[in-house]
Amino acid sequence: MKKNNTPPNQDAKLRDLDRNRENGQGEFITTDQGVRINNDHNSLKAGERGPSLLEDFIMREKITHFDHERIPERIVHARGSGAHGYFEAFGNVNEYTKAAFLNDTTQRTPVFVRFSTVAGFRGSTDLARDVRGFAIKFYTQEGNFDMVGNNIPVFFIQDAMKFPDLIHAVKPEPHNEMPQAASAHDTFWDFISLMPESMHMVMWAMSDRAIPRSYRMMEGFGIHTFRFINAEGKSTFVKFHLKPKLGTHAVVWDEALKISGNDPDFHRRDLWENIDMGNFPEWEFGVQLVPEEDEHKFNFDLLDPTKIIPEEVVPVTPIGRLVLNRNPDNFFAETEQVAFHPGHVVPGIDFTNDPLLQGRLFSYTDTQLSRLGSPNFHEIPINRPIVPMHNNQRDGHMRQEINVGRVSYSPNSLGGGYPEQAKEAEGGFVSYNERIDAHKVRTRSESFSDHFSQAALFFNSQTDVEKNHIISALRFELSKVETVEIRQRMLGLLGQVDKMLAEKVAEGLGISVPQQPERPMNKGVGADADPQKHEPKPLDKSYKPSEALSMVNNPTVTDSIETRQVAFICGEGVSEKSVNALKKALEAKGAAAKIIGPHAGEIKGDMGNSIKVDFAFFSSSSVLFDAVYVPSATDIAALEKNANVREFINDAFRHCKVTGFDKGLDGLIAKTAIGMAGKPEKDSVPGVIINDGTAKAFTDSFTSEMGRHRIWEREQLFAE
């Protein structure tokens, strides 16, 4: 055996050297072939605002590697749920697009919709603070159209080149694979603190939009600017919007944490059960339309995916409705195997040179090849169009189509020249004839360099309650960051959005806002490779607050309580009159009552009738319901002693939900947080309603308060 004469400390040095090499410390970034990369932040384009080029081997290698990192689970949007439904057009956009399914009012276009979280693994919780995917496959008579969107209208990055970096940063840290489905850790905020372009998205992600009450109560957005093309070949820029019939609502953070423990399938279960009961989710499908000649009239760039067009500037025009009315028959075969791609378009819809969209057009097909294992993923039933497919593609793994004949090429004479090309008038897809005359460059347009104005617009459009939630979210997230320098960089960026915001977050972190924030993009980046070749633009103060950006002040907000769930906390000998009166009033408005009792099975009412118990005190929680009611009972003393009951009421009160009590329950109320907040008299505590025996007055008041979703002024009780 050969003796090792290397001193032990030398072994340690060699190991450290190898580790440094693996981490790239002191080295240039290279391709997998060892070629040094001059610019790792921008894809190669034909001009600053031109399309990305297929020859960009650096981007293709980077994204290809990223797309194939995990199988078979999706790398992003792994945790999802889906449903079938239909789209009905209002038929009012023929002037702008020749897409038949958007103009034909006589047909229902079948759809499959998949909702998802982005960061977590397939087994993670539904209630993580995260962006929600909102992807729709339209099975049109001209082929499949996929709108691959989110519940937030902007994104973290401007160029697809940075997408692998973003996801690597937000995923569990590679050395210990923690934390799961969470952005509250160093690597995510390290990346964000060095990417000012992310600040607008950060405001949305730290708002309550990232913890929705239900998939059925989320907005949907196409994110990118696309093109509509009409029959004359005229182009109009378009952004896609979906507005839920039930309004846009969220939970609070403490509630989200507790829901994750009580029911990690909360959103999935909610969608499934409501469709099963006939409560079909519905959205208004709308568009923002910008004429080609108005492309440059805004103080932002239409092609920048980190920007919105404020609805007060360009209103959303409703063009149809989307309804989900059928659950999948098999989760794996449909929800897991559905393959979306923003490049799946039909005549009348086309792309723009948005550099994030351009990268997605490559990435999605590449991902499906890895995840579904075959170029024939389009033949899986959930992905098949409803119109016939005819082309010269053959063979490949898991081929299902059995093609006959000897011809598999074009042009041909042996097959009579078929399948032949379709002229534009015959429905053939023709790309928009956009003129491109530019140098090949790897940079970004100066028009992409305003990173803070729309972040400030979003923050300033929120109510005080919503602003406080953003501040609390940032405090929570950044308090989990161990590296002080990252916290300081983030405070520097937040200070450029809003000074009060930065100062409030800084208070929670116990550090000060930097007097002179560093320009983070220069950190560790060579001068020639700086993606921000242009200096960041100063804050544009011309933006006016937009009510459409607030969930509380949104002009589409509704007082409907349809499909809301109310917990009735019932003891033995419960008042049947009280239970029946409120239950009837709730059901008349489309809401549901659930009986929560001391045990499973049944309890007896005060008139001797048996009442079925839906959940026991010990197996349920108020976080799973929208409001709470406690009717009187002969054994009210048992409720007063039960810790689960007190916690149930306390959580509902803390989470600003409507809470109702029959008269005479002062002893129970006194033992809860409500008793500490004020006397249980009518109107003494916001959203706490006492039933004085006048049934209609009580039920009207209870259901009316529920229509507000949450009693937000109650938060002030806890702030004080």
Residues whose CB falls within 8 Å of the CB of residue 323, separated by 6 or more in sequence, listed in order: 85, 86, 87, 88, 280, 281, 282
Cα→Cα distances 564→16, 217, 708, Å: 58, 11, 12
3-state secondary structure of 17: helix
Omega of the bond leading into 355 within 30 degrees of 0 (cis): no
Residue 298 resides in a domain: yes
Place of tokens 């806890």: 718
H-type helices in 323-447, by residue range? Answer: 355-371
Torsion of the alpha carbons at 566, 567, 571 and 573, rounded to the nearest 10:
20
Give the integer Cα–Cα distance in Å for 57 and 37: 11
The pLDDT of residue 371? 87
The CATH number of the domain where 670 resides is what?
Answer: 3.40.50.880
Give the integer Cα–Cα distance in Å for 116 and 80: 4
The pLDDT of residue 69? 67
Radius of gyration of the chain (CA): 28
Give the integer Cα–Cα distance in Å for 533 and 518: 16
The pLDDT of residue 7? 46
3-state secondary structure of 116: strand
Give the integer Cα–Cα distance in Å for 165 and 188: 10
Contact (CB, 8 A) for 615 and 645: no
List, run by run, the mean pLDDT of 10-residue segments along the chain (720 residues). 46 51 66 75 88 82 74 81 98 96 97 96 95 97 95 97 96 95 97 96 98 98 97 97 97 97 96 98 98 96 98 98 97 93 93 95 89 87 90 84 87 88 87 89 92 97 97 98 97 96 98 84 47 73 94 90 97 96 97 96 96 95 97 93 96 96 94 76 78 91 96 79
Contact (CB, 8 A) for 397 and 373: yes
Residue 451 resides in a domain: no
Place of tokens 């496959």: 137
Residue numbers of the domain that contains 177: 58-383
Give the integer Cα–Cα distance in Å for 209 and 225: 21
Residue 37 resides in a domain: no
Contact (CB, 8 A) for 557 and 250: no
Contact (CB, 8 A) for 469 and 256: no
Residue 502 resides in a domain: no
Give the integer Cα–Cα distance in Å for 18 and 32: 18
Domain count of the fold of the chain: 2
Kindly report the pTM of this predicted structure. 0.90
What is the CA 119 to chain-centroid distance, rounded?
A: 11
Residue 219 resides in a domain: yes
pLDDT tens-digit series, residues 38-97:
888 888 889 998 988 887 877 887 887 787 666 577 888 889 999 999 999 999 999 999
Give the integer Cα–Cα distance in Å for 651 and 221: 33
Give the integer Cα–Cα distance in Å for 42 and 276: 47
Give the integer Cα–Cα distance in Å for 646 and 369: 53
| Ramachandran assignment for 140, one of left (phi > 0), alpha (psi -120 to 50 degrees), beta (any other) | beta
Residue 355 resides in a domain: yes
Residues designated as active site: 77, 150
Phi, psi (rounded to 5 degrees) for 269: -65, -40
The CATH number of the domain where 107 resides is what?
Answer: 2.40.180.10
Phi, psi (rounded to 5 degrees) for 666: -60, -35
The last residue of a domain, from among 351, 383, 415: 383
DSSP label of 388 = -
The last residue of a domain, from among 383, 399, 425: 383
β-strands 615-616, 592-597: how paired? parallel
Residues whose CB falls within 8 Å of the CB of residue 313, separated by 6 or more in sequence, listed in order: 298
Residue 359 resides in a domain: yes
Give the integer Cα–Cα distance in Å for 376 and 108: 27
The last residue of a domain, from among 329, 350, 383: 383
The pLDDT of residue 15? 52
Give the integer Cα–Cα distance in Å for 528 and 505: 34
Give the integer Cα–Cα distance in Å for 529 and 123: 39
Residue 669 resides in a domain: yes
Nearest CA to 281 among 312, 346, 327, 313?
327
Give the integer Cα–Cα distance in Å for 147 and 340: 8
